[in-house]
Amino acid sequence: MIFPHSLGAWTHVLRIWIGDNMLADSLLFKLFVFPGTVFSFIIVLFLFWWWRKIGASIQSRYGPKHVGPSGTLQTIADVLKLITKESIVPEMASKWFWFMPVFSFVLSFLFLSLIPFSDHWVIIDFDASLIMLFAVMAIEPLFIFLVGWASYNKYGVAGGERAGIQMLGYEVFLALTFVPVIMMSHSWSLVGIVYAQGVSPTWASPVLHTFTNRGVWFGFVQPLALVLSIIAVMMAVEKKPFNIPHAEPEVLYGSSTEYGGPFYALQMLSQFLMGFLGAGLITTLYLGGWALPFVPPAVGFVLKTLVVGTIIIWLEHSLPAMRIPHFLDVAWRKLVPLAFLNIFITLIIMEVLGWA
Amino acid sequence: MANFEKIAATPETLVDTARSLKASGFTFLEFMSAVDYIPKNKVEPGANRMDAVYMLWNPATNEQKMIVVPLPRDNPSVPTVMPVWEGANWHEREAHELFGIDIKGHPNLRHLLLAEGWNDTYPLRKDFNVDDVEIDWSAPTSKLAEGNPERVYHFAVQHPGAHGPQGFDLLLDGNTIVDAEARIGYVHRTLEKLGEQRNYYQNILNMERGCIMCGMPYIDVWARAVEELLGVEVPEKAKYLRLIAVELNRLSSHLLWMGPQQGGDFAYMPVAMWAIGDREKVLDLLEALTGGRITFAYIRPGGVRWDIPEGFREMAQKNLRYLESRLPMYEEMMFKEPIVKERLTGLGKLTPEEAIDIGVSGPSLRATGVAHDTRKDAHIPVYEDLGFQIVTQTGGDGWARGMVRLGEMKESIRLILDALDRLPPGNSEADLFNRRAMPWMKVPTGEVYAVTESCRGRLGIHLISDGTSKPYRTKIRGPSFSNMYAVEHILKKGSYLYDIPALIGSMDTCPADMDR
Amino acid sequence: MGLIKPLLYTLKELFKRPVTVKYPYEHRDISPRVRNIHTLNRDTCQHCGICARMCPNNVLKMVDGYPTADYRYCSFCGICVDACPTGSIQMIHVQEHALVRANDKELYMELLNPDGTPYNPDAPADVPEQEGGVF
């Protein structure tokens, strides 16, 4: 990008950032309000409460009850409490100790930028955004490891190592579950994939998306792929039963053992944000993105994501954690062949439906 | 139960006597301890020696024999019997640190229950003065930590996977355990010394705290030991009530095991919470019967405190039938679920010979296929009349242990309901206590070893009385002491970090009765 | 598969009523045998001191002929009740009598009356007043 060299150039750049007529067109608004920072905090606050309520109902108890109506403000109370706590830094921790959790939060934010809440409400939109998303998801375990490494704690490093082990398991499987979607939609961009499911564009996008319109949500055509994707996404965002890197009876709290107070709050929020985004990814790929009758596009996206998120939360609370050898065994010996089978089935379905 | 034969030995003949006894069937070493006699004692006035005692059990014939080795009080020493029974390892360490007996040939004579830097004073000796104790707090925590304290992982107390105040010092290579050493003694409350300070009735309080989760078998065995010495026979009704109370406690302990212990290891919260919720129903029954949910003080020498209250039968039917209907669900969620099954199968496999050599008892022993349950072996009253069946499994791994406990739960429910149906009329207590005489109840001189099956294994109390109102020696043989040694033994053979919580949970070790 | 059954169980449980008792808004009935706090019948007490002597933790101390209790060490075992020759000292099951300690001095409390009301309405200075009776 050329540095703005004149007043005219500066004005041009500022116009793009702040926007001409509609505030809602501006990049700043999208970054910071919706679907950016403010919205992500709100949705995380909601999701944390929802996670606790469903978990509690499954376990025959009530969950948060007293703070706010039916406990909805409990998350705010917890976050405020955590922020006001003293943050204890180990003596020998590296000088990057402070930065690491921030980096991983930024990474989840990058993930957020790629997910289309609608074809207008998306921060980064170009014709290969699925590839970039995959790359972002692949870097994440590295940051988990660095978080553990920076804390100079045996259990932190052990937890970080386990993030690497988990990545060995799910990476290939995750990539393979994306393939049928790409095959069916003929598009590498997330917005294009949504268009390919029969959703009509809500505005004239400056980016040219290549896609082939199939007219039906992919989840109905390929339920097996939907199930496998849910499993893959649960592995990627480390939800039980695949929560090997963190929060298990074995490695205290995994890579973030030494991070207390505000950092713990940041990591909790980033974890739930990733959960939301994982569900959002599934909605985009299989459930028609933002299209829902009678509601505006972005609201439709959020509602559908919350439904998928609820299913993931239910699965998470109902299953125990897996051992590492069992996990690797299942991932490579059972799930990767299933993913290949899935691709094969997709080919057959495409042939049958005439979607060559 | 009580009568055992004493066999004298000297330090030189000890190992040979032990070997010949083991060859003749006494394959189970219950405990090794000592009795300290100073001249002014009332059991044998004038005696001035320390007896090292080894209590043995013959599983086949249910005989008990005790090897007694008289030793001088200054510099007592015996050779180790670890070549004969491996389980003697920790018993000898405990005798060394509490009595000062030097064990020749022992591989690791560090402090087990006391702090690592404890000086050379020996608490269980009769002439011990607590002002002489000094502790060096900079001593290394374990043998592994002596050379390189930084490399050692402390998988202990603060770690949520260690299930309480117990744990291990580990040397890890990635996720593989290279070496492990157990660290226990965090809740050593000197129950044995306290037993000597309190009289026979107050000791109910003491003994009950031997294990928090299953205190009832402790006071049951204490009461039977004292009754044996007094020569008192309890009425039939009291025997039935004791059975009901002990089995209720066993149910609550196994439910607690299944929920948070075994389920919590896998972060399997639904099962953990449902088990706790169902356990509340059992605790409601215990509260109605005894007045307490965790500590009961219900069984006392002579009988039990109260008869069953009104409405107890109906309440028991309702609660226990509900619990019975939930057990198949727990079986499906815990033991047939593929993830849990994969984690439990092959976990900490023990062979029957290994288990008996170490001194493992309880469900962990029965999971290896050995059909020994103290309730049947020691002919504890009423169990046989109700047709008690021993639950066993083959396999010796975590899954088998879990299935044994599940089977025991079903058996307990059946026993309680049958006992309630067949409850005989009569008094709930022998006509023993004139209230005014109770504090000064003197028990004639004698020695008895009473055993029972606590929720975790074979529990025994070796009681020596000296004719006064306070006991002379109360030695508690806690089942988890040997079970935890089995865990260390398994870890030393080679295991993984992610298996440790499940292993500790599946052996169901209770720190309270390890450390006493 | 064995994986589906647990999911169905949790799904079923999701819609059932929780088992939690919403204390302190709801109360659970407890058995009358529960040993929550002592009461003393001052008319029948013989001042023999057996209860104090039998207490394993030395909780009871005889003051002016009547036992007083230091509840910091009481383990609620009921041995004092068993030992009393006249049955004057009893334990009742009423709950919610949390005692506030103002300092670390030895704190011996007067035992309650048999109906659960406090004995001494002019409580000593370092024992905060209890709201009349227990509920």
- Provide the residue ranges of all domains of chain A, joining segments of one domain with +: 1-32, 91-353
Q: What are the helix (H) ranges across chain A?
A: 7-18, 27-32, 37-58, 74-83, 99-114, 129-150, 154-185, 190-196, 218-221, 223-236, 262-286, 297-318, 324-329, 336-353
Q: What are the helix (H) ranges across B10-87?
A: 14-23
Give the closest residue to B474 by CA, choosing from B501, B442, B447.
B447
Beta strands B5-8 and B63-71 are: parallel
Show the CA angle centred on residue B339, arms to residues B337 and B342, nearest 5°: 100
For residue A85, pLDDT over 70 is answered with yes
Closest alpha carbon within chain B to C93: B291
Identity of the residue in B297, B338, B439 whose CB atom sits nearest the CB atom of C78: B297
CATH of domain B191-515: 1.10.645.10
CA–CA separation, A35 and A298 (whole Å): 9
A17 at interface of C, judged by CB pairs closer than 8 A: no
Decide if B341 and C2 are in contact by the 8 Å CB cutoff: yes
pLDDT digits (tens, 9 = 90+) for B369-378: 888 888 888 7
Please list every residue in chain B whose beta carbon sits closer than 8 Å to the beta carbon of residue C84.
Answer: 435
Domain CATH number, residue C71: 3.30.70.3270
Residue C59 in contact with residue C71, Cβ under 8 Å? yes
Decide if A318 and B270 are in contact by the 8 Å CB cutoff: yes
Decide if A59 and B159 are in contact by the 8 Å CB cutoff: no
Q: For chain C, how many structural domains are there in total? A: 1
Decide if B297 and C50 are in contact by the 8 Å CB cutoff: no
Sign of CA dihedral B84, B86, B87, B88: positive
Q: For chain C, how big is the Rg over CA atoms in Å? A: 21
Please list every residue in chain C whose beta carbon sits closer than 8 Å to the beta carbon of residue B290.
Answer: 33
**Dihedral pair phi/psi, residue A47, rounded to 5°:** -65, -35
Helices A297-318 and A223-236: crossing angle, nearest 10°?
Answer: 70
Closest alpha carbon within chain C to B307: C33
Q: What is the ipTM of this complex?
A: 0.82
* Average pLDDT score over residue span A14-23: 59
Closest alpha carbon within chain B to A246: B267
Domain that holds residue C77: 29-110
A154 at interface of B, judged by CB pairs closer than 8 A: yes
pLDDT, position B252: 92
Q: What distance separates the 2 farthest-apart alpha carbons in chain A?
A: 66
Give the closest residue to B25 by CA, choosing from B81, B78, B53, B64.
B64
- Provide the residue ranges of all domains of chain B, joining segments of one domain with +: 5-139, 191-515
C102 falls within a domain: yes
Q: Give the global pTM.
A: 0.87
| Matching residue, tokens 């491996």 | B86
Please list every residue in chain A whose beta carbon sits closer than 8 Å to the beta carbon of residue B339.
Answer: 241, 319-322, 326
Residue B267 in contact with residue A240, Cβ under 8 Å? yes
C126 falls within a domain: no
For residue A20, pLDDT over 80 is answered with no
Give the closest residue to A186 by CA, choosing from A161, A168, A209.
A209
Sign of CA dihedral B412, B417, B421, B426: positive
* Average pLDDT score over residue span A123-145: 85
CA–CA separation, B73 and B77 (whole Å): 10
Decide if C18 and A314 are in contact by the 8 Å CB cutoff: no
Decide if C11 and A314 are in contact by the 8 Å CB cutoff: yes
Please list every residue in chain A whose beta carbon sits closer than 8 Å to the beta carbon of residue C6.
Answer: 318-319
CA C22 to chain B, closest CA, distance in angstroms equals: 14
Identity of residue B331: E
Mean pLDDT split into 10-residue runs, chain C, 135 residues: 80 84 81 85 86 86 83 84 86 70 56 71 50 40
C11 falls within a domain: no
CA–CA separation, C2 and B512 (whole Å): 36
| Enclosing H/E stretch for B325 | helix B312-330
Token pair in block for residue B150: 């930084």
CA B335 to chain C, closest CA, distance in angstroms equals: 10
Domain B5-139, CATH among 3.20.20.70, 3.30.460.80, 3.40.91.50, 3.60.15.10 = 3.30.460.80
CA A316 to chain B, closest CA, distance in angstroms equals: 10
A319 at interface of C, judged by CB pairs closer than 8 A: yes
Count of pairs with CB atoms under 8 A, one residue in A, one in C:
36
CA–CA separation, B195 and B210 (whole Å): 11
Please list every residue in chain C whose beta carbon sits closer than 8 Å to the beta carbon of residue A318.
Answer: 6-7, 9-11
C61 at interface of B, judged by CB pairs closer than 8 A: no
A186 at interface of B, judged by CB pairs closer than 8 A: no
A333 at interface of B, judged by CB pairs closer than 8 A: no
pLDDT in 10s for each residue of chain B, 516 residues: 447 888 888 888 888 888 998 888 888 898 898 998 888 888 888 888 888 999 998 888 888 889 999 988 888 888 998 888 888 889 999 999 888 888 888 888 888 888 888 888 888 888 888 888 888 888 877 777 777 777 788 888 878 777 888 888 888 877 788 888 888 888 888 888 888 888 888 888 888 888 888 889 999 999 888 888 888 888 888 889 999 999 999 999 999 998 887 777 888 888 888 898 889 989 999 999 888 888 888 888 888 888 888 888 999 999 999 999 989 988 888 888 888 888 888 888 888 888 888 889 888 889 888 888 888 887 887 888 888 888 888 888 888 998 999 999 999 999 999 998 888 888 777 666 555 566 677 888 888 999 998 888 899 999 998 888 889 999 999 899 999 999 999 888 888 888 888 888 888 888 888 888
Token pair in block for residue A281: 């990814």
pLDDT digits (tens, 9 = 90+) for A154-179: 777 877 888 888 888 888 888 898 88
| Matching residue, tokens 């690797």 | A328
Identity of the residue in C10, C15, C22 whose CB atom sits nearest the CB atom of A318: C10
Residue C59 in contact with residue A101, Cβ under 8 Å? no
Token pair in block for residue C120: 């001494």
Residue A241 in contact with residue A320, Cβ under 8 Å? yes
Beta strands C109-110 and C66-69 are: antiparallel
Please list every residue in chain B whose beta carbon sits closer than 8 Å to the beta carbon of residue A162.
Answer: 175
Decide if A319 and C11 are in contact by the 8 Å CB cutoff: no
A311 at interface of C, judged by CB pairs closer than 8 A: no
Give the closest residue to B488 by CA, choosing from B12, B41, B86.
B86
B contact chains, 3+ CB pairs < 8 A: A, C
A contact chains, 3+ CB pairs < 8 A: B, C
| C-alpha count within 13 angstroms, C-beta hemisphere, residue B96 | 23
Sheet-wide strand order for C60-63? C60-63, C66-69, C109-110
